[in-house]
Amino acid sequence: MIHFILMLSITIMALAIGVCAWRLVKGPSLPDRVAALDTIGINLLAMVAVLSVFLQTQAFIEIILLIGILSFIGTTAFARYIERGVVLEHGNDQDCR
């Protein structure tokens, strides 16, 4: 029974990733696309976690952490780009003394 529930949850998360991918491509604005990309990252993280439980292994823990870190950094960079127009600002080196 637990295997059925885990496979059902993986299927539902795959459908959610598909819907978010459609929103990523079709999105009417850049913030919608960023939110869809962040949601894809979260769903992918959850899918790998459920797959780890399904396979009864802890081998995917590093992958889960990597996906979480990359998703956070990507969302932060896109939000900064939307807010300021650039991701990294070039400042004066004289101010860093």
Per-residue pLDDT tens for 8-28? 999 999 999 999 999 999 989
Asked if 60 contacts 51 with a C-beta cutoff of 8 angstroms, the reply is: yes
Distance CA(86)–CA(83), nearest Å, equals 8
Q: What is the CA radius of gyration of the chain?
A: 18
CA-CA-CA-CA torsion sign (11, 32, 85, 83): negative
Per-residue pLDDT tens for 28-82? 998 899 999 999 999 999 999 999 999 999 999 999 999 999 999 998 888 888 8
